[in-house]
Amino acid sequence: MSEFDMEKYPVKPSDDAVASSSVADVEIVTESTSGWSAFKDSFKPAVFHDIDTSKMTNEEIAAMATATSPLSRSLKPRHLQMIAVGGCIGTGLFVGTGASLSHGGPAAMLIAFALIGSMLFTTVHALGELAVSFPVSGSFSAFSTRFIDPAWGFAMGWNYGLQWLVVFPLELVGCSITVGFWDHEAKYNSASWVAIFYCIILILNIFGAKGYGEAESFFSIVKVLAVSGFCILGIVIAVGGAPNSTGYIGTHYWYNPGAFAQGFKGVCAVLVNAAFAFSGTELIGLAASETPNPAKALPRATKQVFWRVLLFYILPLTIMGCIIPYNDPHLLGHSSTGASTSPFVLAISNAGISGLPSVMNVVVMLALLSVANAAIYGCSRTLMSLALQGQAPKILGYVDRAGRPLVAMGLTFFVGLICFVAASDKQTLVFTWLLAISGLSTIFTWGSICLCHIRFRRGMKVQGRSTDELVVKSMFGVLGSWYGLILNVLVLCFTFWTSLYPIDGSKPNATVFFQNYLAAPVIIVFYVFYKVWRRPAVVRAKSMDLVTGRRMMDIEATLEEIRQEKAYIASRGMAYRIFRFWC
C-alpha cells in the first residue's frame, strides 16, 4: 500500500503525446524543430494524460493535480544544495542585520538568530520527509490542505504567494537603491535602474526552473565567497589590523556600549528579523517537484541548512558584533538611508579600507537580485498549485511545454510593476504597507510545515502504517516538529507584544501595530472566507489520504539503494562518516 494505487486511480495515456515524463502522469511535449519555431512552440500548453477522477473525492483530485503538474524535472542535486546553502541570503542578512544589531545588541542578535536557525533546521528536515514522500507542486499549501484543513491550506497558499508578490518589487527597488552608493548626489534615475533589474529577472525566468537553478547557483557562490571573505576581514579588523585601527578591538563593544540594547524585549524584537533573514530556505520543498530524484537530492540539501545557519549567519554576525557598536548612528534603525548602509559595507568603510566597500555593495546588489529571482519562482509555483487545487482561478494553473507556469509567472511580473513606485516620493509608505501584509508569512509557513509533519505521522500511526515505508525520515522525528511549532507560536506571541508595545517605549499605536502584525488578520480573513465559502471539514487522522499523489517509485528498490549507500559510508573512515552525517 506504500506505492501509488494504480487500480484506484487508473491513468489513460494521451494518444497525441510526443514525449512523456517517467515520474508523473503528465507529458511535456518536445518537438524536433529548432531555433525560433521551437522557442515559440515551448509556450504552447503542456499535454496532460487523461486521469479518471470518477472514483476520487475533491481532496483526492486536488492531491492528484498537484502531484501530476507538468513542471519540468530540470533541477539537479547541485541546484538544490546551492539553494539550501546560499539561496535567498539577501536583504535579511546583508541589510536587515543592521536593524537587528541596533535594536537588540550583539548578544540579542546572536540569541535570536540561533533560536530561529535551530527551529529552521528541524523544520526543513520535516519538510524533507514530506516532500520526498509527496513531491507535489506548491507543497506548503498542498500539505496543509491534505493533512490539516483545506481552509488552512487556502490561507497558507495565498499567504505564501502574497509574500513573494510583495518581495519581488521590494527587492528590485532595493537593487536600485544600492546604485546610490556610488552617486551621493542622487543624480541617477532610480526608475531606469529598476527597469534594468526587472528585465534581468525576466530573462532569467524565460528558461524556467533550469534558469532559476543556474542563476541561484551563481548567486549563491558569490554570496558564500563574500561572507567567507567578510569573516576573514572582520577578524583582521577585530585584532587591530585595519588601516585606521586604534588597536585591538576584540569584544570591547560587548562591554561598551554593551551586549544588549533592550534586554529581553530586544531579543523578541530581533526574532522576526531573523526569520525574515532565513526566509526562502523552505523553497527546497517547492523545488522537490522539479527534481528527477528527490529521494537522493533532498536529504543532502536539508543537511546543508546546518552549515548555512552556522557559517553564513552565526559566524559573520558574531564577528559583526565585535567590530560595530550597536549605537553606531549609521546602522539601519537609526539612519535609514538604503541598502548602501548595510552593516557589511559599514564595517569595511569604518575600517578605512578603500575599494572593498564598493565590492561588498555589488554583492549586496546581487543578493537582492537573487531574492527577486527566488520570488518569481516561489510565487508562480504557489499560485499554480492553488489553481490546481481549485483554490485560485483555473487559468493560473496553465503550464507550457517547457514546464513553466506561464500565467502565474505573468501575474507575478505584472504585480512586480509596482517597483516603479521607486520614482515616487511615496515609495516608503507604499512598501511599508505592502510588506505588512505578509510580514509574518515565514513564521506561519514554517509552523504549518511542522504541524503538517505532526499530523502526517499521526495519520500513519492511526491507520496502522509503518514509518519503514518512508524513503526519507526527519532526523529529529516528530519531537523536532513539535519544537519548531512551539517556537513559531512563541515568536508570534513575542511579536504581538513588541508590536503593541514598541521597544522605543512609545505608547500603543494602531498604525505601528498593523505595520508589524497585519499578516495575522489577513490570514484569518482568508481562512474564514474559505471556511464559509466551501465549508470543508478538518482532516481527521483515520481518513487522511496517505496514498494519492505519491511519485511512482519502487519503494523497496529505493530503500535498498539507500541501505547500500549507508553501508558504504559506514565502511569509510571516521572523517568521511562525520562529513556525510552533516553533509
For the segment 504-518, the average pLDDT, to the nearest whole number, is 86
For the segment 156-180, the average pLDDT, to the nearest whole number, is 87
DSSP 8-state secondary structure symbol assigned to residue 26: E
All structural domains of the chain with their residue ranges: 11-552
Residue 558 or residue 249, greater confidence: 249
Q: What does the pLDDT read at residue 131?
A: 87
DSSP string, 297-309: HHHHHHHHHHHHH
Q: What does the pLDDT read at residue 188?
A: 65
Q: What does the pLDDT read at residue 187?
A: 64
Q: What does the pLDDT read at residue 314?
A: 92
Burial class of 312 by CB neighbour count within 10 A (0 to 12, 13 to 18, 19+): buried
Whether the CB-CB separation of 533 and 150 falls below 8 Å is answered with no
Q: Which range among 22-36, 438-452, 498-512 has the greatest average pLDDT?
A: 438-452
Q: What does the pLDDT read at residue 11?
A: 38
Dig out the grid coordinates for 2 from the structure: 506504500
Instruction: Tell me the pLDDT tens digit for each residue of 255-277.
Output: 999 999 988 999 998 998 898 88
How many other CB atoms are found less than 10 A from the CB of residue 485? 23
CA distances, 142 to each of 77, 80, 126 (Å): 23, 20, 15
For the segment 438-459, the average pLDDT, to the nearest whole number, is 92
Residue 304 or residue 161, greater confidence: 161
Q: What does the pLDDT read at residue 5?
A: 42
DSSP string, 438-495: TTTHHHHHHHHHHHHHHHHHHHHHHTT--GGG-SS--TTHHHHHHHHHHHHHHHHHHH
Instruction: Tell me the pLDDT tens digit for each residue of 221-256.
Output: 898 899 999 999 999 999 988 888 778 888 899 999
Identify the H or E element spanning 48.
strand 47-48
Q: What does the pLDDT read at residue 541?
A: 93
Instruction: Tell me the pLDDT tens digit for each residue of 100-155.
Output: 898 899 999 999 999 999 999 999 999 989 988 887 766 678 899 999 999 999 99
Mean of per-residue pLDDT scores for the chain: 81
pLDDT band at 446 (very low <50, low <70, confident <90, very high): very high
User: What is the torsion angle, in degrees rounded to the nearest 10, for the CA atoms of residue 564, residue 565, residue 567 and residue 568?
Assistant: 120
Fold annotation for 11-552: Amino acid/polyamine transporter I (1.20.1740)
pLDDT band at 346 (very low <50, low <70, confident <90, very high): confident
pLDDT band at 7 (very low <50, low <70, confident <90, very high): very low
Instruction: Tell me the pLDDT tens digit for each residue of 421-437.
Output: 877 777 777 777 877 87
**Closest to 146 (Cα-Cα) out of 455, 478, 523, 445:** 455
Asked if residue 41 has pLDDT above 70, the reply is no
Asked if residue 91 has pLDDT above 70, the reply is yes
